[in-house]
Amino acid sequence: DFFTFQPSPPGDVTAQVQGVDLTLPPTPTPTSTSGCEAADFNGFVAGRIALIQRGTCAFAQKIRNAGRAGASGIIVFNEGQPGRTDAFPLDIGEWRGGVPMVFADFAVGNELASTPGATVRLKVDATLTLGKSDNVIAETRGGDPRNVVMVGAHLDSVEAGPGINDNGSGSAAILETALQLAHFPVKNKVRFAFWTSEEIGLLGSDQYVERLSAAERKRIRVYLNFDMVASPNYAFKLYDGDDSDATGSPAGPPGSAHIEKQLDKFFKSRNLATVGTDFDGRSDYGPFIAVGIPSGGIFTGAEGIKTPAEAALFGGQAGVAYDVCYHLACDTISNINMTALDVDADAIADSTARYAFNLNGIPQHSAAAVAPVAVTTAG
């Protein structure tokens, strides 16, 4: 019924369970915002075990809020909406504290939430060691350093597989863009980031943004993220900067809608359709939107299931995952859809080049500060 949160710190605690802003049947739950805001923990009793639903924002954000509220342990469980499996991805384990954590399926979470005064023993046997891994950052020699266009993709993969689609596809595409852009003078400085440790909780991008001064954050005018851009059963998904889909996560920071429209314009120029995808916190744009930096990008789908409407737009198989090899050993070079890679690589180059020369329509933002935290990574 419980699965270890990877990587969870070790711990053994017996305490009362307290639900955090839960949405339970009969109320429909397309996506849960449980634990996404510090205010969700108003009234939480320090020392209790926090019971949190999956959904909407990054797991790391929920867990940090729980830790700051004084939780002695954390149980994260599925929302329970139709189509949600009870499997948890492996890219969600970042935590920076000593609180043991486990996953539970919806049935277990719902039972705990529905049992007043429920007390559980939460025991995790784990070993965490301090490790080090580096981001790779490169930027154009020229361009106005007061106006930085940042383009990112993560280099790491999960232990189970080689990660050629996730995320060799995005990393290769921005590398080729950087190599070609080097031949041209640019008006705005362009900075390419090859992130480390995305799969264990956005560690590379999170720490990078955290360590930037307020002035340095303000100089980053846009952030473009490219994570999985060649899924075999692809859909051309653009991060929904203006929340025009009116589902799931809210709009990105001001300027994000412009990025979505700029990318969409490229696809329309080739008579290709696009659909929106939520800023759900599962990739390296998360730390940037958290501090107010306009963000956007392309995503061709992961373990989610392609809809009949998407199959009509993009071809492929409805009712099948966008990438059946997501986080598996079969994510090899044969797992790439070359049509999607070709189109998306051109879209990446196009959007990067346009912002390298013109930031009209992107408002000057005042990036927010984030609270400093210590860093713990899995060994």
Tell me, yes or no, if 198 is annotated catalytic.
Answer: yes
Reference 279, options 307, 320, 247; nearest CA is 247
Q: Is 193 helix (H, G, I), strand (E, B) or coil?
A: strand
Reference 196, options 163, 240, 239; nearest CA is 163
Distance CA 284, CA 221 (A): 16
Q: Largest Cα–Cα distance in the chain?
A: 66
Specify the amino acid at residue 236.
F
| Beta strands 136-139 and 188-195, pairing class | antiparallel
Reference 327, options 296, 304, 298; nearest CA is 304
SS (H, E, C) 90-131: CCCCCCCCCCCEEEECHHHHHHHHCCCCCEEEEEECCCCCCC
Q: Which two tokens stand for residue 241?
A: 């900067």
Cis upstream peptide for 82 (omega within 30°): no
Give the active site residue among 198, 199, 260, 310: 198
Cβ-count burial 243-280 (b if 16+ within 10 Å, e if not): beeeebbebbbebbbbbbbbbbebbeeeeeebbbbbbb
- Give the DSSP per-residue string, 118-178: -EEEEEE-----------EEEE-SSSEEEEEEEEEEE----TTS--IIIIIIHHHHHHHHH
Per-residue CA distances from 243 to 14, 60, 256, 276, 341 (Å): 41, 22, 10, 8, 26
Catalytic site positions: 198
